[in-house]
Every structure is written in structure tokens, then in C-alpha cells.
Structure 1
Amino acid sequence: MLFPIVFIGFSAQVVFGATIYVSPTGLDTAAGTITAPLKSIQSAIDKAVAGDTIYLRAGTYSPTTNIQIKKSGTASALYTLSAYSTEKVIIDGEGLPYTPADLDASLPSASRGILHIQGASYWKLYGIELINGPYGIYAVDSSYNTYEKLVTRDNYETGFQLQGASAHNTVLYLDSYGNRDPRKNGESADGLGFKEGTGAGNLIKGARLWNNVDDGLDLWEFKTGIEIQDTISWGNGFNRWGFTDFGGDGNGFKLGGGDAADIGAANHIVNNSIAFLNAAKGFTDNSQTGNFVLTRNTAWNNGDSGFKMATAVSTLTSNIAALNTNSQVSLSGTQTQSGNSWNIGGTWNNATFKSVDSSSVTGARASSGKIVGSDFLLPVSGAALGATTYW
């Protein structure tokens, strides 16, 4: 069963709530209007009530304490925090504590995230770039939120992390890359992590996760099923920062993991997604239990197995695994398989595909936020097999 996609628009917020403007050149004693904006994002959040829209004007914001979101709207009165129009908004966390934390040091929970979202539901975040923070976004016990067209890059921990009792969240068109964790030598900074949590109805759609020190997507100890659509993960798990005792795993899609007592069955759904050129596996259950459904995904040129399903009772249909280093698939035998490249047989190499040029999927997005469609890794045969970027 597919989870419903929850898209939350702007128009209701503008009509039914107040609008507060913030600018790097504003004043916190100002009225918060478009001609007299506030300076501090936190001031705007503190001032806003349910149904309000906070617009961030162009420029770079450099907070010295992280931005805390700890209040909730309702289904009919959302909070919105958004870049204004098409203006480019960057929040640079370099001036925050723990950027980075010392090697082997702890990182207090309250200091995690340039945006620290805790116990806060019915928010929409749109069009913001978060860099150089102790996590870019860190959300815990927060539900019914939409995170759209965000960039989380070059942070000192995972770019975007959600955990705890968090349900019905949508992550749409996220770009998360270059995230690393000097305090752990690459052990745990992922592009996107849903970790140590529960909550039904969470959806990841159209994300791109690349060149992160650990994994692209990590669902470590998340006990409830998550749906993943149209997502691409590449180049993760390489030591681009010269860490000693390097600990990066390098999976494209790590769909679970943890101690036996902490795993819990999770019925993940992965559709139309691509893992390529990652240091380790393309798609792995990582010892997670549950009933996984993987349909029309592609694992190409990864450093270990294309698909490794050892503990999950999985259904794999119309997937492609090609040119992965150690094996194309590593399955436990409890999987239901049909129409996958390894079931069809034959030779699967670069000549099998219409294109192995990744420039369209790694380049600029379309104005809609979608990945630009191309023939990347589509079979020459024209078979409805593996992932497509035409969606």
C-alpha cells in the first residue's frame, strides 16, 4: 500500500494568516513588514502564530545560536517558513557551537541542527539552504510537516535528520551533499537520516543525496515503514576530507540497522530510485526486519552488492543490478522475485543502457524541483525495468 503524498500549498497561509518578513539587513525592533523586516529568524518564529507565513529575504543569515522551532500549527492553520519568491536564502551555521565538535566528543541534543525542530507539527519549510551546521535540520517528535526544495550541504553531521515519534512528514526535492562528521571520522554523517524513531506515513520523494561521508539515506533503527520514491543516491562513503581511522559506510540506501532489541520490523517501500558509484552497497536492509517492497530501482557501479537483502522478507520486482563490484544481488532466499535483471539473465553492462551519462540527474533541477528527465540507465530494449527519471 502506498502512503498518500501530502502537499501543503502557500495560498491558504497568505489568505488566513499574517505575513512576517525577515532580512539579513533588517532590525529586530522593526515591524516585520516587507519594507521594515526583522533581522532574526528566531524573532520571527517567536512572534508567529499558527497560520502565519514567515518569508526570508535573499542573503546569508549567520546565527550564533541555533534556531528553535517548538510550537505547532494545525491542519487548517499551518506555519510556513519560506524563502521569499525565488530569492536565494542561506543559513550558515559556522558560528554555532559544535561546528565541529571535537573528535570523540558528545553533541548535546539541544545543539543539534541549524534548525532544531522539536515537538513541532504542521509546519512547511520551503526553499532554504542550510550549511556548516551541527546537522542542517534536526527534527524530533514532530509530525505532519512538509520540507520542500531544501538544500542541506557541508554540515558537520547529517544534513537532514528526523527521529523520535514523527509521523506523516514529507521530504520533497531535498538536495543533501558534502555532509561529514569530524568528531566521528565519518562514522555517521549521512545525507538524509530517519533514525531511532517510529511514525507511520513518512514519505521521501525526489531527493538527491551525494558525496556524504557515510550513507546517502540511512534508516537506522526507524521501526515504522517509510516510502521512498524517485530518489537518487551517489558517491557516498568516500574519505574526501582526509579523516584518520575512516569510518564511513558508503551505502546508497541503508534501509535499517541497529541492535537486535532496537530494530523492529519496518515495512519500507522503495520505488523508482537509483544508487550508483557509492563506496559500498546500492540498497541494503542492513539487518532490518520487515516486509520490504522494492519496485523498478537501479543499482549500478556500486562498490559492493547492488541489492543485499539478508533479513527483510522482501518483494523485488523489475529492478536492475549491473556492474556492481562484489555481486549484483545477495539475497537470503526469503525474497519474492520477478522480472528483475538477475531473473531475466543475459549480459548487463554499459552497452545495455541508452545512456550512462549522469549529468542530467546530477545537474540543476527543473524549476518545478523535479530531477531533469534523461535516458540515464534506461535499458536499450525499452523494457519497463529499473528506475526512470521521466516522472
Structure 2
Amino acid sequence: MRKLGSLFIIYSMLTALFMTSSVMATGDTLDSGKEGAIATSATSYYVSPNGSDTNAGTIHEPLKSLMQAQSMASSGDTVYIRGGVYDDFEIAKTDSNYNYVHAFNKNGITYEAYPGERPVFDFSHVPTNLRVAAFFVEDRTTGVTFQGFDVTGVKVGEQPQSEAFRIREQADFVNMAAYGNEAIGFYYTGNGTGTVLNSDAYDNIGPTDVSAGNTDGFGAHGGAVSFINSRAWNNSDDGFDSISSKGPVMYDHCWSFNNRGNQNGVGDQNGFKVGGYAYRTTDIPDPLPVHTVRYSLAVNNGANGFYANHQPGQSANWTNNTSYSNSRANYDMLERVSPTDITNIPGYREVLHNNIAFMGTTIKNDNHPIENVSNNSWTIDGGLQLTPEDFVSLDTTQLSAARKTNGSLPDVTFMLPVDTSPLFKHGLGYLADK
């Protein structure tokens, strides 16, 4: 791989930053009191599947539940989660719609896998008389970090949706995975903001027609959110979805592939559904957020790879992305006229530079001025005539390979341009910075 060092250094620095402070999508350090607490009186608590909530929470006398750990912890503290399977829960709270299995309402606490161990939280036995939110970050709760564990088995029953993580205020995720659920993996809503780094959402399938159309890998429907170095695959709805976001969303070095519906083929099935508000004419943010999609990859999705999704303005700046063999289009820049006019139109406000499209329909709904869409594989010299020989590999199985020990994405050669390809010369695609 070419120029491996620079991105590794960047993400190593980001990971270190998450270890000491909670970082919003804007890059501002939250004033949650965490740093001060660490400097003066930070405490570590321990949780184990074999623990007891009557214990002291030490490494030798661990607690059993995260909720008991939260009740004992303060801002700046870390709750270490020992390895094993956690599948015995009490519902922390309910409302008219949800069973909240864990409800987090204390600021500045980190919930982190014990070093060298990978805990699994299995929610298969939680009842679905209501929607299920396995982990719920409540309103006015900030500086919460989750790191290094898996969430599986969240059920939906006949409800319209459930979620592995539901974030209504501020939470960050590092090296997390949500898989094998009938639920959305990571769902920011309300005022939800944060950063998702080095995390995966896969095999999340809604079994009914309604739930299938809601079960995304990652959803950003609150405030500013950043997805970095994260992957979504084999989810029934979209891999990444920011249809209702009130703040700017960044997709940076993210991969979305094989999102192709449930067992009946039901689901929207886009790789990145970036714009939105559907056909609403009220409750649309002013100004509209403009999102960022860069160095990202969409492959073999059942609908579009990258989708502007009826945005009533510019949806995003799309830079150095690669889209391969998506069923409807590799890039679909569909917009609508304005926040008050729901008429669909070919996009003319999007900005696309340095992108690759190969196999399938290159781009739909494109009515952009030439300065908005330049140095792409389909615009250079009237469109490059690409063949498989332009790439080192077209082996899609590389994309779901295990992450590195530090949580970063695996090294791949999928759609890496060979040195003799004009794609390499022009610096195109999701691997151009390698």
C-alpha cells in the first residue's frame, strides 16, 4: 500500500484523544469536567458477567451491571467491562414507546472493555412489547464514551424499530460493533451529537416490512455527527443514513457494502443516504446542513451507492469516493426544488470531485455545472474507459476482513488503482491517500 503512514498517524492521534476526552463532531472538547476529574480523583470501576451489584466494584470484587456502575461513578471515571457474555438484564426505564435496557444520564463516564478482552452484550431475551433501546444516552447527558465491545441480539417484534444505541445528547464510540440485531446499530436523534470511530454495524435485519425499512447500520438524525473509519454491511435498510439531520454530518473513510434488504428484499438499500427530509415542508433546519462524504466506499448495495435523497438544497461535498456495482446507480444526486417546494429535480447544487464509478450506472439526476463535477472517472477526457485491469483487485471479500489490533480498518487492495491507470495519475478514489 502507498503512503500508509499518514492516515495511521491521524487515526492513532484520534484514538488517543478519545482516551482522554470526549470530542464532538465539530472537534471541540466537551467541557464535561472529565479532564479535571482524571487529574484529581478519577476512579476505575469493574463489571463482570460473574459479578454482583452488592460488590465494591473493584477488579477483585466486580459489579454485575453497568447501571450499578453508573450509580457509583462520577465524571472522569472509567467503567472497565470484563470479557464474557452479558445477557441477564433488568429494564432500566420505560416510556410509552421504549424499553430502555440501559439508560445513561451521568456525564463524563467512559465504558470501556478491559484491555485484551472483548465483551459481548446479548439482548435476545429482552421483551418486545415496546421498542427496545439496548443503550440509551438521555437528554442533557454529555461526555459519554463507549469503547471496545459488541452488541447483538436486539429484537424488534412487531414494533417499527429498535436500536442497539440510541443517543439523544452526546456520546462517542470507539472500536464498537453492533451486529446480528433486528435493530438499528447506532442511532443519533433529538440533539444527539458525537463521533463514531473505527466501528462496525452489520447483519442488522428488520424481519417485517416496516422494521426492514428502518433498520440502518448507522443513523445521524440529530446534530453534528462524524463517522470515521467505520463500516456498514448487510443491513436491511441503508448502511449510513442522515435523512433527518439538523447538523452537518461527516463520513470520512467509511465503507458501506451489501446492504440489500431483508429476507423478502424489503428495505431502502442505499450505501450512503446523505440528504433528506423526504417530502416535509416543515421542521426543516435553516440553514440546511451541508454534509461531507470523503474517501468513502460504496459496493454492491441494492439501490444507490451515494444518494443525495431529495435534499431541498445541496446535500454534500463528495470527494475522493469510490462506488462499484450498486444496483440503481453508483451516484444519485436527486434533489428537490426547495424546503417549501417538494418537486423532485436532477441535482445542480452538489459538488463532486476526484470520485470513481465502475460497473453499473455511473450517475443519475446530474444537472450540475461543469465546475461542480470535475476530475471524476466519468468526466476526465470525456469519461475514462475503465476495465478490471485498472485495479489491483476486485475481491469484495477483503472489505469484511477483521480490523487491526488497534481497531483501524484492514489494509485492502480492492479497487486500488494500479500505478499505470489514469485513476492513479489523477488521484481518484477512496484509497488515493494511501
Cα distance in structure 2, aligned partners of 1:348 and 1:249 = 29
> Are 1:385 and 2:428 counterparts?
yes
In the TM superposition, 1:164-313 aligns within 5 A as 164-167=190-193, 169-183=194-208, 184=210, 186-195=212-221, 197=222, 199-200=223-224, 202-239=225-262, 242-243=263-264, 246-257=265-276, 258-261=278-281, 262-264=283-285, 265-291=288-314, 292-311=316-335, 313=349
Alignment match, 1:104: none
Q: Residue 125 of structure 2: which of 78, 95, 105 is its match? A: 95
CA contact (8 A) 1:128 1:150 kept: yes
Is 1:24 the counterpart of 2:49? The answer is: yes
Find runs of 4+ consecutive structure 1 residues off by over 6 angstroms. Answer: none
| Structure 2 CA distance for aligned equivalents of residues 379 and 213 of structure 1 | 30
Identify the match of residue 59 of structure 1 among 60, 84, 101: 84
Q: In structure 2, what is the equivalent of residue 83 of structure 1?
A: 113
Contact 1:5-1:170 within 8 A present in 2 as well: no
Partner of 2:4: none
**SS across alignment from 2:216:** coil
Deviation, 1:308, is 0.7
What is the number of equivalent residue pairs in this alignment?
Answer: 362
Q: Read off the aligned partner of 2:260 and give its amino acid letter.
A: G
Cα pair 2:252 2:293 within 8 Å, conserved: yes
Q: If the length of structure 1 is used for normalisation, what is the TM-score?
A: 0.87
Structure 1 unpaired stretches of 5+: 102-106
State the match for 1:129 in structure 2. 150
Q: Which residue of 2 aligns with 1:44?
A: 69
**Could you tell me which residue of structure 2 aligns to residue 8 of structure 1?**
18
**Percent of pairs identical after alignment?**
31
Asked if 2 retains the 8 angstrom alpha-carbon contact of 1:266 and 1:288, the reply is: no
Q: Tell me which moved more, 273-282 or 58-67.
A: 58-67
CA RMSD of aligned residues (A): 2.2
User: Deviation at 1:64?
Assistant: 4.0
In structure 2, what is the equivalent of residue 330 of structure 1? 364
Question: Which one-letter code corresponds to 2:280 in the other structure?
Answer: A
Letter in 2 for 1:369: G
Deviations 1:112-146 (CA, angstroms, capped at 9, x unpaired): 32111112211111001011113211111x12x32
1:319 aligned to 2:319?
no
The residue aligned with 1:365 is: 403
- SS of equivalent to 1:387: coil
* Most deviating of 220-229 and 293-302: 220-229
Residue identity matched to 1:343 = T
Q: 1:151 aligns with which of 177, 199, 203?
A: 177
Whether the 8 Å CA contact 2:186–2:219 is kept in 1: the answer is yes
Aligned to 2:385: 347
Residue pair 1:146, 1:171 contacting (<8 A) in 2 also: yes
CA distance, structure 2, for counterparts of residue 341 and residue 387 of structure 1: 13
The TM-score with structure 2 as length reference comes to 0.79
One-letter amino acid matched to 2:163: Y
Q: Which amino acid aligns with 1:187?
A: G
Q: Which amino acid aligns with 2:311?
A: Q
